Amino acid sequence: MTRIFVVDAFAEAPFTGNPAAVVPDAARLSDAAMQGIATEMNLSEAAFLIETNGACRLRWFSPVHEVDFCGHATIATAHVLSAELGRPGPFLFETRVGALRVETSADGLVLEVPRLDPEPVPAPPAIIDEAFGADLVGVFRNFENLFVRLTDEAAVHAADPPLARLADLFPHGVCITAPGRKVDFVSRYFAPGAGIPEDPVTGSTHATLAPYWAAELGRTRLGARQLSRRGGALRCDVGADSVSIAGRAVTVLDGVLRAPCPKMRRGG
């Protein structure tokens, strides 16, 4: 049997922030088993920790495929290791985007991610203009997402893009953003092609959002909020090569999977 947790990341209380499933001992799970678990859990991402010879490899799966980069499920994994399994930090995870470090502090968990500076998009897909129209200020991108700056926080809050059309942009997701009223900037994130109609709180997008708004606002320490229905708060510090993203996490489930069946496992 396989132990599994559900953790709300970037959350001050249960049932806020972004829930992630975490399997802290996934060394014997096949790729098919990991994908099956992620599909069954039907959360934005499930995280699988594979420890070999003292090294920690972390993989993330959405309900439909393996993903390259996930911040909230990394925070959730560090929370499980520290709060549930009693292991001291800091934690270093090998991932598809390189080594990710998470430190514990009195204020929560601090995730250090590669700085992914915004890249220009000279000719955005037509659906971007159709979806955001008069509120559209500009478009930029990183390796996995398109970012759409809108006029103000109200426009981000009110946006109702056609998800079926956005799904055609897969493997890219779409993040919308604007200056915030009570925080430095706000955002929302849509990735329907990856099985995520709207992500509650997205750590990975802030690897690009934070450098963008740092340049726009002229400061490197920023407060952010994601305006999903659940909502979530993030604190970002922008460095020369990395971005530190801080937030809290709360365990909401600790259980045991009776699946996957043996034929889905590696080895005996």
211 pLDDT more than 50 = yes
Tell me what pLDDT residue 260 has.
63
> Catalytic: 94?
no
- Structural domain tally of the chain? 2
State whether 163 and 87 are in the same domain: no
The answer to whether residue 28 is domain-embedded is yes
Q: Beta partners for 250?
A: 8
Exposure string (b/e) for 190-215, b if CB count within 10 Å is 16 or more?
bbbbbbbebbbbbbbbbbbbbbbbbe
Q: Which of 45, 112, 153, 198 is catalytic?
A: 45
Here the tokens at position 81 are 């290791």
Count CB neighbours of 65 within 10 A.
14
State whether 159 and 48 are in the same domain: no
- Residue-number span of the structural domain to which 140 is assigned: 119-238
Quote the CA–CA distance of 192 and 215 in Å, as a whole number: 30
Q: What confidence tens digit (pLDDT) does each residue in 14-62 have?
A: 999 999 999 999 999 999 999 999 999 999 999 999 999 889 999 999 9
Tell me what pLDDT residue 264 has.
53
Under 8 Å between Cβ of 174 and 162: no
Of 124, 122, 104, give the one whose Cα is nearest residue 112.
Answer: 104
To the nearest 10°, report the CA torsion of 239, 105, 102, 206: -50
Q: What is residue 172's three-state secondary structure? A: coil
State whether 189 and 147 are in the same domain: yes
Tell me what pLDDT residue 189 has.
97
Tell me what pLDDT residue 262 has.
46
pLDDT bracket for residue 261 (50, 70, 90): low
Mean pLDDT of the chain: 93
The answer to whether residue 258 is domain-embedded is yes
Under 8 Å between Cβ of 236 and 243: yes
CATH of residue 129's domain is: 3.10.310.10
pTM of the model: 0.86
State whether 36 and 8 are in the same domain: yes
Tell me what pLDDT residue 2 has.
86
Tell me what pLDDT residue 266 has.
47
Tell me what pLDDT residue 105 has.
84
Quote the CA–CA distance of 50 and 260 in Å, as a whole number: 16
Tell me what pLDDT residue 268 has.
36
